[in-house]
Amino acid sequence: MSKSFTIHDLPKDERPRERLVKFGEQALSAQELLQLILGRGVAGESVAVTAQKLLAQFGSLQKLAEASIEELSFIKGIGLAKAAQIKAAFEIGRRLSTQTPSYKSKELTDPEKVYRLIKSKLKDYHKEHFYIIALNSRNQSIAEVSVGSLNASIVHPREVFAEAIKNKAASVVFAHNHPSGDPEPSEDDLVLTKRLVESGKILGIEVFDHIIVAKDEFFSFKDKGII
């Protein structure tokens, strides 16, 4: 019977842990990151194979993150302990993504810097999502919230401004993504933005900008003089 392949059969410089230390976590593939979370494989199967099976079974990291303990445990080599490790890792990432850093004033009055700050939150959605940054009187971020799938008929000023009112915001920056990759606003985008700006005036909350995120491009309503 042939010996089962393990991580230790790889040259040291090619092992995930050593690669992370040398090149940083961003240099690792999803499979390599999963290998580090899982730690080791099981008898007859290396951790690399187990990680590969997880990705193949669920199709993407997003689907893997959404999988239940029971669904994860169904995969050979993933017991309750490893399923819990996976869920814990994704939950840490989710909680971190909802933390609200206090950005400097100049960062939130510059559309390009706003785009850079929020593109990671929006660029991977396959549907349009609407995002809000609520600002205090010094233009520092005090709350961030994702409203969910964007549709002009369901994005209502009531839910959009709820977090801003709750946090006594002085102004807001809106953002949403275009999965198509085209940053140009649609007619619905223009109508919605006008409606939100008018609602903000009634509430005494300035709509500072609306940014459309489209992969590596963005559109600023403020830059174009629409706001």
If one compares 148 and 169, the residue with the highest pLDDT of the two is 169
**Cβ neighbour number for residue 152 with a 10 Å cutoff:** 14
Nearest to 109 by CA among 176, 178, 206: 206
CA 204 to chain centre: 30
CA 12 vs CA 19, 20, 35, 49: distances in Å:
9, 12, 15, 18
Q: What is the pLDDT of residues 192-220, one digit of tens each?
A: 899 999 999 999 999 999 999 887 889 99
Q: What domains are there in the chain, each with its CATH number? A: 7-97 (1.10.150.20), 105-220 (3.40.140.10)
pLDDT tens digits for range 25-40 = 878 888 899 898 888 8
Mean local confidence (pLDDT), 179-198? 90
Phi, psi (rounded to 5 degrees) for 133 = -115, 115
Q: Which residues of 44-54 are buried (b: 16+ CB within 10 A; e: fewer)?
A: eebbbbbbebb
Quick one: average pLDDT of 127-155?
A: 69
- pLDDT, tens only, 45-77: 888 888 989 999 998 888 898 889 999 988 888
The pTM (predicted TM-score) of the whole model is 0.54
Q: Tell me what pLDDT residue 152 has.
A: 45
